[in-house]
Structure 1
């Protein structure tokens, strides 16, 4: 996983957490759900990058 991808995914995850907490604090269920969705999307991207890294390790590239 490239450093840029790691930073981007972590930033997306952090933004999702902030949205979720803001939604929770304000009682805005839509914003809370959007934050959870953003976090899930970032997690999926991170998992995909981990698979790519593992494949590179196996093939030695």
Structure 2
């Protein structure tokens, strides 16, 4: 996986964690859900890239 993509996917996951935590603190369930969604998206993209890399080698 390229370094740029690793950083992008890790940032997506981190952003999701921040949104989820912020939503919990302020009691905003919508923000919590959006944060969890971003985390799942980032994790899925990372997994997809790892599979692509495994198939290349």
Same fold (TM over 0.5): yes
| Structure 2 alignment gaps of length 5 or more | none
* Structure 1 unaligned spans of 5+: none
Max Rg structure: 1
Q: Return the structure number with greater relative CO, CA threshold 8 A, min gap 6.
A: 2
- Scaled by the length of structure 1, the TM-score of the pair is 0.91
Moved over 4 A (4+): none
What is the CA RMSD across the aligned residues, in angstroms? 0.4
